A = this chain, B = another copy of it.
Amino acid sequence: MIKKYDFDGFENPYSTFKRKELGERLARAQRLIGNLSIPVLIIVEGWESSGKGYVIKDLVRELNAKHFKVSVFENPTEEEQRRPFLWRFWNEIPGKGDIAIFDRSFYFKLFNDLTIRDEELEQNIKEISSIENQLLDDRTIIIKFFLHQKEETQQKRINELKEDPYRSFMISERDENQNDHYNQYLNHFDSILEKSDFTFSKWHVISSEDKKDASEKALGMAIDLIHQGIDRIMGMKNGGQRKELRDYSPEETPLDNVNLNLKLDDKEYDKRKDELQVEAQRLAFQLYTKGIPTVLVFEGVDAAGKGGAINRLTREMDPRGYEVVTTSAPSELEKNHHYLWRFYKNFPKKGDMKIFDRSWYGRVMVERVEGLAETEEWDRAYDEINQMEKHLHNFGTLVLKFFIYIDKDEQLKRFKARETEPDKIYKLTDEDWRNRKKWDEYIDAMNEMLVRTNTEFAPWTIVEGQQKKYARIKVLETFIKEAREILDKTD
């Protein structure tokens, strides 16, 4: 992509326009995407000292400051290193109608590591392709610029900056190092650009030999690419689905095979419970000391006993080490972003445990059944979820998902009990009764979910919930087994 780049062949078809004029046209494009509620992500990558700052300044100059944000990504801070690779980028994705400009991006780490192993590179590119794909599917326009310059130009710019008393601090070892090994980096960049030049999201290499030229080209291309993006999205909207919906006919319906007769007698329950809770605490503490993050997901039919199971699981654990995250209907701000955005924010740091009482699976259950998500949206969510959980897994996260099941009669019994017990009445809502009416539809959605998101790296455990005691013990035992396994691997 850049190895044989012809600097002299750099054309600037926008040079007939003034930058101010281009800026104003970009501002109009911004109002357009604002009206259409389309998010725009502009990535500006390139050599060190290639003028990224200069180009970004020109890009935003005429924009409405309320609706753009520039995010600078440097080497990850200590805090950021304790999170999965994509975490900090997900936090900064644009909302609907906004423009996010990334000064460096998720490519930064790859570009800067000459000695990255092929395997790791492959995995990172895969993860990057999944975030780009997911944002594109969510109607985001992604524009990727790479600012390219000659070895001698870089050298000259580094020298100039070094001599400027106010700006010399901007030159780091990284700049000098790149310049000292220009050809090595050239090959490295080229190969990464090649690998990440996805058909759905291409790179645009811009020569920054002349910064003014580069700015004009970036402005002009941004305008054109936004218009092309709008065109693509309008196509999506007018029924032109991105892809065929997967023709899904369930071969398995795991919930039909749940054995609802499983029971424990009180004596056995009491005996095992105490031991298991102490052991769960011991293992949670070890996960903490070894810096292993844990994500536990609890889903199930209403009144299946999620809260009780969580409570019994965490009973002996140090409350400073875990947090229960409740998932309810998304806020306006959350609706304004990709639906996974709010969950990414909440993923645990190394050593922490987050327990999700309901989760991102709402997308393929309640949002699907109640028509809160379009078919195309929930249909692609299975892949998106699998990719996200894979990303957590790749970071070393222990991901466990529990689905607690009770049958329709048992649910009715529990609803009625809640109506009469003063300490429980707060648990019963109108929504519960509403969902109950759609029991069969929910079961279908749940069956499909359990099959399509049951992966090796994030498997479902179906918990027979008819007897609460049995369910609680099974959750404890499963956690213990899986925690031991991951701990053994890290020994």
Interface residues of A (CB under 8 A from B): 28, 31, 34-35, 53, 56-57, 60-61, 64-66, 68-70, 72, 77-79, 101, 103, 166, 169, 285-286, 289, 307, 310-311, 314-315, 318-320, 323-324, 326, 331-333, 355, 357, 423, 426
- Can you list the 7 inter-chain pairs with the closest CB atoms, starting with the nearest? A65-B324, A66-B326, A70-B319, A60-B319, A331-B331, A72-B320, A70-B320
Instruction: Knowing A56-B319, A56-B320, A332-B331, say if A66 contacts B307 (CB, 8 Å).
Output: yes
In the complex, A79 Cα to B79 Cα: how many Å?
8
Alpha-carbon separation in the docked complex, A333 to B31 (Å): 28
Q: Considering the chains assembled together, what is the distance between the CA atoms of A166 and B70 in angstroms?
A: 45
Task: Known A103-B320, A320-B53; judge A65-B169 contact (CB<8 A).
Answer: no
Identity of the chain B residue whose Cβ is nearest the Cβ of A61 in the assembled complex: B315
Indicate if the CB atoms of A57 and B318 lie closer than 8 Å.
yes
Interface centre among A66, A326, A355, A426 (most CB of B within 10 A): A66
A65 with B318: CB separation less than 8 A: no
Q: Which residue of B lies closest to A71 (CB)?
A: B320
Question: How many angstroms from the CA of A61 to the CA of B313 in the assembled complex?
Answer: 11
- Nearest-neighbor residue (CB-CB) of A58 within chain B: B319
A211 CA to B355 CA, complexed, in Å: 28
Task: Specify the chain B residue showing the minimal Cβ separation from A169.
Answer: B289
**Which of B286, B307, B423 sits near A65, CB closer than 8 Å?**
B307
Measured in the bound complex, the distance between the Cα atoms of B60 and A101 in whole Å is: 43
A259 to B31, CA, bound (A): 35
Residues of B within 8 A of A77 (CB): 78-79
Docked Cα-Cα span, A187 to B206, in Å, equals 66
A169: chain B residues at CB < 8 Å are: 289
Contact check, A65 vs B355: say whether CB atoms are below 8 A apart: yes
Given contacts A60-B319, A70-B320, A169-B289, 20 further A-B contacts (CB under 8 A): A34-B426, A56-B319, A56-B320, A64-B307, A65-B310, A65-B314, A65-B355, A65-B357, A66-B307, A66-B326, A68-B319, A69-B323, A70-B323, A78-B78, A79-B79, A103-B320, A166-B285, A166-B286, A331-B331, A331-B332
The reply to whether B57 and A319 contact each other, CB–CB distance below 8 Å, is yes
Q: Which of B286, B320, B426 sits near A31, CB closer than 8 Å?
A: B426
* A34: chain B residues within 8 A (beta carbon): 426
> What are 5 contact pairs spanning A and B, CB under 8 A?
A31-B423, A57-B318, A66-B307, A101-B319, A331-B333
A423 / chain B contacts, CB cutoff of 8 Å: 28, 31
Hey, which chain B residues are within 8 Å of A79, CB to CB? 77-79
- The residues of B that contact A72 with a CB separation of less than 8 Å are 320
A35 neighbours in B (Cβ, 8 Å): 426
Bound together, the chains give a CA A79 to CA B101 distance in angstroms of 22
Within the complex, what minimum Cβ distance (angstroms) separates A75 from chain B?
12
Q: What B residues does A68 contact at CB under 8 A? A: 319
Closest to A64 in B: B307
Give A332 to B426 CA distance when docked, in angstroms.
20
Q: With a CB–CB cut-off of 8 A, which chain B residues contact A101?
A: 319
Is A318 within 8 A of B355, CB to CB? no
In angstroms, Cα B323 to Cα A282, docked, is: 45
Hey, which chain B residues are within 8 Å of A426, CB to CB?
A: 31, 34-35
Write out the residue numbers on chain B whose beta carbons fall within 8 Å of the beta carbon of A60.
319
Find chain B residues with CB under 8 A from A315 CB: 61
Residues on the B chain within 8 Å of A357, using CB = 65-66
In the bound complex, CA of A326 to CA of B69 (Å):
12
A357 to B314, CA, bound (A): 44
Q: Among the listed B65, B69, B285, B324, which residue makes an inter-chain contact with A66, where contact means beta carbons less than 8 Å apart?
A: B324
- In the assembled complex, the CB of A281 is this many whole angstroms from the nearest CB of chain B, namely 9
A37 CB to nearest chain B CB (Å): 13
Indicate if the CB atoms of B355 and A53 lie closer than 8 Å: no
Query: In the complex, A44→B81 CA distance in Å?
Result: 29
Complex: A307 Cα to B79 Cα, angstroms = 35
Chain B: which residue is nearest A60 at the CB level? B319
Bound form: Cα–Cα A315–B63 in Å: 10
> Which of A64, A307, A331, A333 neighbours the largest number of chain B CB atoms within 10 Å of its CB?
A64
Residues in B whose Cβ lies below 8 Å from that of A56: 319-320
B residues within 8 A CB of A319? 56-57, 60, 68, 70, 101
**Nearest-CB distance from A117 to chain B (Å)?**
29
Bound: A166/B487 CA distance, A: 14
Given known contacts A166-B285, A289-B169, A65 and B103 CB-to-CB distance under 8 angstroms: no
Question: For the complex, what is the distance from the CA of A101 to the CA of B318, rounded to whole Å?
Answer: 13
- Chain B nearest CB from A81 CB (Å) reads 12
